[in-house]
Every structure is written in structure tokens, then in C-alpha cells.
Amino acid sequence: MRHHKEQSRELLTPRLALEFLRDGNSRFCKNISYNRDNQQIIMETAAGQWPFAAVLNCSDSRVATELIFDQGLGDIFSIRLAGNVASPEAIASLEYTCKVLGSKLIVVLGHTNCGAVSAACNSVQMGNLDALLKHINPAIEAEKETLNDRNGSNKVFLNNVLHNNVHVQIESIINGSEIIRELIQNQQIGIIGGMYDISTGGVEFFDELFDLEQYNVSAGQETI
């Protein structure tokens, strides 16, 4: 994280990392960005990386992590899976960037009109997609408000499931990683959810940084 020169690495906090992302998304929405010297950044990061935040988001081509947060090479450790699911591989990647690389913040970022979540709502079955969509099913089960038309065409139902899914994936991360739980407990990292609006480019973060008391933490629980 050498490109935010106003803040030293030693003094960087999860809350300040979140502010960097908020400010970057604001610039993105205003169609402005920092003027970065990419060749200089390439040289600076050739020997190592110092991402200040990790973002687990969807593989959707419209949700390019560094672009929507106006960050440069080496700033964000980006993990992209359809439906922003916290698979064991995704959790392992988050452990690596937080424990080894020193990332201060984990963001689980959903987005509007997500095709993977819609497919899960429609009970789509297709090859290896089945294994991925099972990570989203708990978010569907948690949606209790909609009694009829519980499918991806129902925008209210889909929106509720999209938000549920972010919380479900955060809970999977916390329950699936002793390393991440300890880092949160020691206030070395923070974790937060958010939703990207593909029609505006804006990111709505969920409340403030979450703590373990907000989730059903079961140490040693296997991920779905």
C-alpha cells in the first residue's frame, strides 16, 4: 500500500482502509481518478505487494474491483467468484492477504442484478455451477418475507437475497477461518459488506465495520 502516501503502513487501520475505498468509489462515480504513473507503480511493486484491503466480489465483468474503487496496482487483493461466494479457496486467499501481506480490511461485495444469485433463486442446474450455487442457497432460505414468486424474476425477492448473501458469505468467512477470527478479535483487521449498483457505479456499504458479536460464530465450523 505504497500509493496512499498520506498514511504510513504502520498507522493504517481498518477504518482508514474503508475510507480509502469510500473516497475512491466517490471519485469513480464522479468520473475522476488519481493520475497514477503505472510504470512507476510496476517498478515499486515488482519485489512485493502490500494491498491495504481485500475484496471478495463477483466475477461479473461490470464489477471491476480496482476501477470502481479507483485504486492502483498493488492496492487491493481482489478475489472474484460468481456470486461473491466464500468458498474454501476464497477463504484461504483472504487468510493469506490478511495474515501474510498485512491487508487491514475485508470487503464482501455483492452487486445488483447478480446472475449467479438469480440462477440460485431459479434453481438452475448446470455442470460445475451446482457446486458454486450451493453457497448461495442459505441466503435464499433466509428470505422469509416473500411467499409467492420466489424466483430471480421477482426483483424484491432477488434484492433481499442479494443482501442476505453478503451476510451469509461474511458468516462463512468468520466461521471458516480461525486466522481471520483472531485477527478481527485483536482488531488487526475489519470486515464489512457492501452492494455495488451496476446502474449508478455506487457502492453502499452495510452499516459500519462488523464485529464477531453480530454473527453466529461457531469456531471450527466447516464452510458450506
In a domain, 222, yes or no: no
Neighbouring residues of 103: CB distance < 8 A, sequence distance ≥ 6: 17, 51, 52, 53, 54, 77, 97, 189
Number of domains the chain is built from: 1
For the beta sheet containing 53-57, the strands, ordered from the edge strand earlier in sequence to the opposite edge, are 76-80, 53-57, 105-111, 190-196, 203-205
Residue of 33, 13, 16 lying closest to 24 (CA atoms):
33
Q: What is the pLDDT of residues 126-184, one digit of tens each?
A: 999 899 999 999 999 999 998 899 999 999 999 999 999 999 999 999 999 999 999 99
Mapped onto helix, strand or coil, the DSSP state of residue 176 is helix
Q: What is the extent of the structural domain holding 145? A: 14-214
Q: What is the pLDDT of residues 87-113, one digit of tens each?
A: 999 999 999 999 999 999 999 999 999
The grid cell for 34 is 488519481
Mapped onto helix, strand or coil, the DSSP state of residue 67 is helix
In a domain, 163, yes or no: yes
Mapped onto helix, strand or coil, the DSSP state of residue 123 is coil
Task: Quote the pLDDT of residue 220.
Answer: 44
pLDDT above 90 (res 29): yes
In a domain, 221, yes or no: no
Give me the CATH number covering residue 96: 3.40.1050.10
CA distance 141 to 139: 5
In a domain, 6, yes or no: no
CA distance 57 to 177: 18
In a domain, 7, yes or no: no
In a domain, 21, yes or no: yes
In a domain, 59, yes or no: yes
Burial (0-12, 13-18, 19+ Cβ within 10 Å), 129: middle
